[in-house]
Amino acid sequence: MFHSLQCLGNFYWLHYLFASLTTHTTALYPIFLKTLIQHGIPPALAAYSLAYTLRLTGIISPYATGPAPVYYGSGYIKGSDYWKLGLIFGIIYFIAYLALGLPILMLIL
């Protein structure tokens, strides 16, 4: 179970290295999906758990999703604050996902 949670965390935080959700998904999703399945996670649960983390990554950086550069470029949030808030809210969202979202997903599937 620890390896599965570590795998989800790695998939989530590696989004810092990608400029879009499409490149992140294309490059990493198949690898992490196969890894989760090999650790004994049911395929549907593995697929959905990775997919749901993608929606949360939009907060972590000014280039994480399509609308993020608009917010960044508007000047309402300073660059350094954007990165700090992205880290803080990224941690909060990921913990909330592990505590609330993942158990609900496990009940549904």
pTM for the full predicted model: 0.88
- Separation CA 23–CA 18 (nearest Å): 7
Q: Alpha-carbon distance 30 to 35, whole Å?
A: 9
16, with CB counted inside 10 A (0-12, 13-18, 19+), is middle
With CA atoms as reference, report the closest residue to 4 among 27, 38, 28. 38
Tens-place pLDDT, residues 8-36: 999 999 999 998 899 999 999 999 999 99
Digit-coded pLDDT (tens) for 38-88: 999 999 999 999 999 998 998 898 888 888 888 888 988 888 899 999 999
The residue extents of the domains of the chain are: 2-108
